[in-house]
Structure 1
Amino acid sequence: MKSLGWVWFFLIFASFSYGCFAQSDLERTIGKLEEFKFKNWDSVEYYANKILAETNENQHREKGLAYQYLGIAQFERNGNYDSAKTLYDVALTHFEKQPDSVQLATLYNNYGVVAKVKADYENALTYFFKANDYLAGDSTANLHTTVLMNIGDVLIFMNKPDEAENYLQLSYNAALANNDSLKVAGILATLGNLYNSRQDFEEAINYYRKSLAFQKPYAIDSSSTIMNIGVVYHFKGELTEAISYYKNAIAVANNFNSPRNAALCYLNIGEALATLNNPEAVDKLNEAVELAKANNLNRVLLNAYQLLATYYQQEKDYARALENYKLYKKYSDQIINENTLNKLNALNVKFNTAQKEKQIADQALEIERQQASVIQERNQKITIAASLSFLLLIGLFFYQRSRMQHRAKLQQAIISEKERGLKAVLMATEEERQRISKDLHDGVGQQLSTVKMQLESLQVKDEGVRQKKQQIAEYLTRAAQEIRQISHQMMPRALEEEGLIPALEDLFGKTFANTDINCSFEHHEADERYPQEIELSLYRISQELINNIIKHAHASRVNVQLYKIKNKLVMTIEDDGVGFDVAAEHEGHGLLNIKSRIETINGNVEYESDASSQTVITLSIPLT
């Protein structure tokens, strides 16, 4: 296994093959597409479809943008390149009817990215040069930087390193001038690819590490760059160092839900371990197979099966080698070359030879049994003993499996019981709140009103006593108002009588009324009534979150959105405050309360924040 032919050098998806999107003075709804891009693809599809439904047949620019973003969602979220290109084709028909050089350049850049991912480099280069032609006046330097970088990246694949370096240097200078750190990181990673293709390994590692330094301040997936460092060490023959980088890349890829990168790393680790004659290579290659099957990564699957077949062949396990070569053939999209067919035939011959040798040995054994009855009897006893041992092992296996299943059921029962207990505690708490609220409103509140009425009915002539009486009446009025306010907070009448939307409007209006925070609340297709536990939980969570914003965020603006999409109710709460470290605060009492409440209604909460930036919180609750 000394060949590095199957090491995956991650250039196609490496680092930053950007599909870029120009900003224009779009109406508010179109602005939402850019706002939710790479954050929430469900929201992108919702707003794109909303634009298509609300625009007329002559609004080609708006329809083109909607179709383009639907294509981006197919490409980024689903990896469905053909669907993405089809949607781009529809977008192109609209943009051509209402020409806009920036939008056409953006679209052709996205065409190029799809072609590059599919290894159609000639067409990819054609698309990128078309995008570059539309930007001849450099109408947007940011997009031009990306197009130049993508041209350089494709030229690397086409084995034109000198031309590639020229375009990458132009892109790098533009990104530095624009102070665009993420673009700089992408270009540095691509330059690392260039120097790796030249086998200038030290310079390649230097560029990759510079790229990681620019990526570090941002919460982005850097697994491909880390993996490429491992590939360089792999090429150098420093396999232990390469494996260490592959493992680091897997951890990052899993953190950012990037199964493609993780699968490629497992494939490379398997190749390295096989080179070291380490039997753990099989486990790593099988992990690559499982990830590839789950995510339709046929190219990874193809090479994993070939590596497994080669490994088993060297181990003289011809049956498994043959099995994996057949799987390799099944997933191959090219004609198997003559050399591979020879290997397959050789494996067939060796496997058949081994089977014949086994038959001859069995026949010889049978002859010996016929010639020696004593030996036959002894062998029968051995067979019976082995069978009993096998049955005993089978029994132990099923016993252990039964125990494990029972333990799993018990654990599930405990979890279910805890969930029911938590739900019961929350419901009991709400019922107690409702009871106290009613007692305050109907009991203490009414008594205070009665006392005030009786006090006001008293006829007092003395001026000093009259003033004292007036002061006591004012105290009683304020006390009654506070009682009503407390009663309303414990169980808001608007939530019971009118529903979630009016209750939230009332909550935000009253909570932020005496602060300097500007709050906006938008809702889309969410005006209906929902089950009581959903309305109540979402209301309580909103109370907790806005109280945290007032106390800790030092924010000046809060934006709340509530919308229904695909049988889900989604709420986003965004503030421009100082943010917080999600990892450090995740075990805090307030966040645990929110987590407990959202889990009782099978929902999910996500936090996007750090100690130096704004905070975006997304709540998602299933309605079925």
Structure 2
Amino acid sequence: MMKLSKEVNNDSLIIYSFNLKGDILLEKFKYNASLESFNTAIKLNEDYTKLKAYSFNGLGNNYSKFESFEEATKSFLKALELFEKVKDTFMIIGTNIHLANDFRKLRDYENSENYYLKALKINNNKNEFLDNFVYNNLSDLYNDMNKPELSIQNAKKALAYFKKMNFERYLAYPYYNMAVSYNKINNDNLAENYFLKAIKIHIKFDNQSELANSFNGLSTLYLENKDYDKAIESSLKSLEYSKKNNLLEFQISSYKLLTQAYINKNNFKLASNSFKKYDSVKNDFYEEKKLKITKQLSEKYQSEKKEKELLKARTEKAETELALTKSKGWIFILMASLLIAVFLFFGISQRIKRKNQEAIVKEKERGFKAIIDAQEEERSKIARELHDGVVQQIGSVILKARNLFTKKELTQDNESKEVLQRLENSNQDLRNISHQMMPRALKELGVISALNDLLEGSLSYANIKYSLEHFNIEERLPEKIEVTIYRIVQELINNIIKHSKATEVSVQLFNANNTVILIVEDNGVGFAKEKNKKGIGLLNISSRLDIVNGNVNFEPSPKSGTLVTIKIPLK
């Protein structure tokens, strides 16, 4: 179609072809190529408003897939403006729904509600399916807004229509929304009933991601009702579906619910294992998101680079053709002009390239900082909840048990000793987890004390000898740098324990010429043999150092292991 459109020189068909190509690439998950096709359509289009509206709509769909909801919103607003100009009612309604969905993702619930209601008003009951599609989305939104009564009203409207039309597959969605709403207003029987109805339909149609979500909702309900066995069973079901489809967000929720259920059943060993998996999957999730952001920025830059190269080629071709049509007397002038244009183009191109590179670096740094800040905030919150909640409760139980056993003269009884020992071991496990998440020593006493606690708590149990030396660290370092140093040492120590087979570890921290230098050395199998196992860990270290302008160097240690040197400027 594109080839024939170009042969007959029909601009509108050429633009239409690029729009179609963008749609096809979007369906094939080739988002960057799809973006490029829609952008080309927009650049070629000077006269065709409706076609331009479809191009911006395509851009919005791509940005939504990227989870770049702010960019998506800008594109959809432009598309809406153009669709309103040509009075395309169906696309006006669809674009309003797109905007409502993206504002919801941005947690701008008021704008989201306004656009859903606007779509309903424009539709004016003409398309019944569209109305009920919006009612179902509104039901979902009102649950986010903590308005369960409104959520139930809209879910019931959608449910009645889907039943009337025998759209069995769609019944699961209002069922799920009603379950969440009834849970919010403490009608547990109805909530359970609707969760089970939604799950039954999703099983029939093999909607695995929805099954993971629904079982997590059911687990939350059972946990709140203190039915811990059913909560565990539902969470394990959710894990089954989310692992099969690599749905990390649902895995995070499942492990968190499992941890809470096991704690309430006093099974602290399983709680500890579940919590470690929760933390690991959460880190993987943030790493994946961080890599995704970096890839998107890089591909966007490459796309812009290709466009500039194409523009350069077209400019040179046009200048050459113009020169050939002129008389010989103008050749020198034209060539000189062309050279000037090329030099100017290269100058501008290099300047734009530098700006793009700087923008990419800044965007990466913002992305990494936001992710790491969110991680630290979540770690700190969980650490507080564990330390001030569960650890204190178990400590209280231990004291009461000791007093009771003393009164009953059971202190020398083997079973009593075993009970106390298990309680103390569980308490110590949770205390260790809490300290690893966000050690109090780091906040209260500084990085040296925190590192000492970390090394003692991690390496002593692994039968690895260690030494910690520090020099010229007289005062507290900036908080961001202390957290960075602690997390990097934590990552390196975990790798040493898991992979290095080391028996000795040396950690040195000192300040030289306003540069903090951290050296971690082990006598294990060496970096070359274990580098393939550490991809995510090394990326995590590099990401943290990017934020504080630091750098890392890995090299073989004279002790046959690995020598890691990290430098972080203080100014």
Higher Cα Rg, which structure: 1
Alignment TM-score, normalising by the size of structure 2:
0.49
The higher-RCO structure (CA 8 Å, 6+ apart) is 1
